[in-house]
A and B are shown apart, each in its own frame.
Chain A
């Protein structure tokens, strides 16, 4: 099965998703042990979105994300060790330890957070796309956000502004059906999100967000369209989170049967059946090793001295 480009392609996507899945599973243990604190939101079940969207981008493109961004950050290439050190609050973290799980940044990879205000990062993405358009650079900005953002004015203001100015960006709505504990239909009169985005004159598609190849192919179409001057595009990526909203969430608002039903569409399961079991096993071993090394490095990493507390407020002169 692995012979030919499709097989290689499937394996790459599968490995990328496995890294995210196993990393987050370890994060749960580390959270329970007290190594990771604060709010932590897992994307287990949603890995195809992270992997598929980032696969469509070039290194010069920009990414704006949310507080559920471990997967986006890993898929974008932030080293696992820097990411985990950040969650441990260490100075070697990708945000110097100042941000934590919800605020992962990497300027060199044009990863602009890690925004914990629902929809709060979307205007930033509009601005990044505006800067590229203004300077006639060929970059595209991918803006990831959840279905909850549809209830916020900032998304609608941003869709309008991006469409009005024809900005090179892709709105990627990771629709996992729940805004924390409130189902989409309990808070929205119109639940067809692509329809709503299209009403702003933005090209919009609904995509199976549990299928990494489908996400990647749709993202490529959208990114290419935006890059070619076709204006902003919108992708509704229909996905599901298998875990609770955050580590504090008792998850009482969903039927167990619903969660189990979605497991049939597990993005890792979708691809694994098509792969050589030896390749999959080898990938699992590599990932486990990478995680072990990241944990070890995070534990050994220094904390920022308290004397530095007031740094990074204004530029240092």
Chain B
């Protein structure tokens, strides 16, 4: 075991991918000479050279589209978009091309592209740099949407994403880049198809993903101190959604709290609640609780940003309501 940060774990995954496969290259804004806006790719230009680590102009649509075209042409590009709000400038390419080409061509074409997108709140970056838009992409058939929230996933999701024949979006939590923990020395590829139970429990299920996993786990810890056993399910993959993992947990605990940094309306939390209502309504002993982002563009001041997001106390209170 070694102490590492999420930033280092993501970088280790990138370095391994670049070393393992000549077809892999990294491109995006400031990924090379600058070392990455969040320093994830620091040192990779020096190690792999200009051909493999490519600085692009501020042209999200063109370089994401070029990633799609390069994937069609046999390369395995990893494209970094600087932050999730900027990804909207490439939404045309992601939705109208990456997610659609296989279908429009009747299965002739594949787009084995990986797009890395730093996302999420927590750094006082205000209303154009810190939203949680993963759910927007999870709406789109033809994509695989990953939300690594542990060091093992940060380290290990890239390799299987590159091996996937379809476009994969990996959403990296900006607020976690500097967080550290222990990662086994032999950490490697992880599954990218299913959710994971991060903490087993019997009284209530807390479903979270990406930036909401940490408050969910902290809430579970507090609840345990009061004798409430909470099971924490980390979705990990928003599309295709591992519905069975959620239904299985709810069938064990009979109570559900969904924790989601995204705006409540139309969020992944809404999808989870709907799936449980469709398939496990009679397993529930209490109404579904949702703890979501407040429906406001994220404000700059720390206290307002905090107030706009699910906090540990909010999750604890929701779980208590659920267990009665």
Chain A interface residues toward B at CB < 8 A:
62, 64, 93-99, 103, 105-107, 112-115, 117, 120-132, 134-135, 153-154, 157-158, 160-161, 164, 311-316
Contacts and interface: CB of A to CB of B under 8 A. Distances in A.
Main secondary structure of the interface of A (DSSP, over half): mixed
A256 B63 CA distance: 42
B64 interface: yes
Central interface residue in B56, B69, B102, by most chain A CB within 10 Å: B69
Nearest to A314: B166
A315 B142 contact: no
A128 B103 CA distance: 19
Contacts of A123: 61-66, 68-69, 93, 97
A128 B106 contact: no
A121 B97 CA distance: 8
B40 interface: no
B108 A126 contact: no
A126 B63 CA distance: 9
Contact of B72 (A112, A115, A160, A315): A112
Contact of B106 (A62, A96, A132): A96
A113 B59 contact: no
Contacts, number: 153
- Which of B75, B166, B240: most chain A CB closer than 10 A? B75
A241 B70 CA distance: 33
B102 A313 contact: yes
A97 B106 contact: yes
Given A103-B105, A105-B109, 13 more contacts: A62-B73, A93-B106, A96-B107, A99-B105, A114-B104, A120-B96, A123-B65, A124-B68, A125-B69, A131-B75, A132-B73, A135-B74, A315-B164
Contact of B75 (A95, A135, A158, A315): A135
B71 interface: yes
Nearest to B77: A127
Contacts of A161: 56-57, 59, 62-63, 66
B107 A311 contact: yes
A103 B102 CA distance: 11
Contacts of B51: 134
26 contacts: A96-B108, A99-B104, A107-B108, A112-B101, A114-B104, A120-B92, A121-B97, A123-B61, A123-B69, A123-B93, A124-B65, A124-B72, A126-B69, A127-B66, A127-B72, A128-B73, A130-B69, A132-B73, A135-B74, A153-B61, A154-B61, A154-B62, A158-B62, A161-B57, A312-B103, A313-B103
Contact of B65 (A95, A134, A158, A316): A158
Contacts of A126: 62, 65-66, 69
A95 B103 CA distance: 9
Interface residues of B, number: 43
B189 interface: no
Contacts of B105: 95-96, 98-99, 103, 105, 107, 113, 312
Contacts of A98: 103-106
Nearest to B103: A312
B214 to A, nearest CB: 30
B29 to A, nearest CB: 12
Nearest to A98: B106
Contacts of A103: 104-105
A313 B165 CA distance: 11
Contacts of A315: 102, 110, 164-166
B266 interface: no
B144 interface: yes
Contacts of A154: 61-62, 65, 92
Contacts of B96: 115, 117, 120
B25 interface: yes
Contacts of A120: 65, 92-93, 96-97
Nearest to A105: B105
Contact of A107 (B64, B109, B144): B109
B184 interface: no
Interface string B102-125: 111111111000000000000000
B73 A314 contact: no
A312 B67 contact: no
Could you say which of A62, A97, A107, A123 has the most chain B C-beta atoms within 10 Å of its C-beta? A123
Nearest to A94: B106
B141 interface: yes
A125 B65 CA distance: 8
A164 B104 CA distance: 31
B10 to A, nearest CB: 23
Contacts of B71: 127, 131
A260 to B, nearest CB: 37
A259 B117 CA distance: 50
A114 B101 CA distance: 10
A190 B144 CA distance: 42
Interface in B145-183: 164-166
Given A98-B106, A106-B108, A134 B69 contact: no
Contacts of B101: 112-113
B106 A127 contact: no
Contacts of B75: 130-131, 134-135
Contact of A105 (B66, B92, B97, B108): B108
A106 B96 CA distance: 18
B57 A164 contact: yes
Given A103-B105, A113-B101, A315-B102, A134 B70 contact: yes
A313 B141 contact: yes
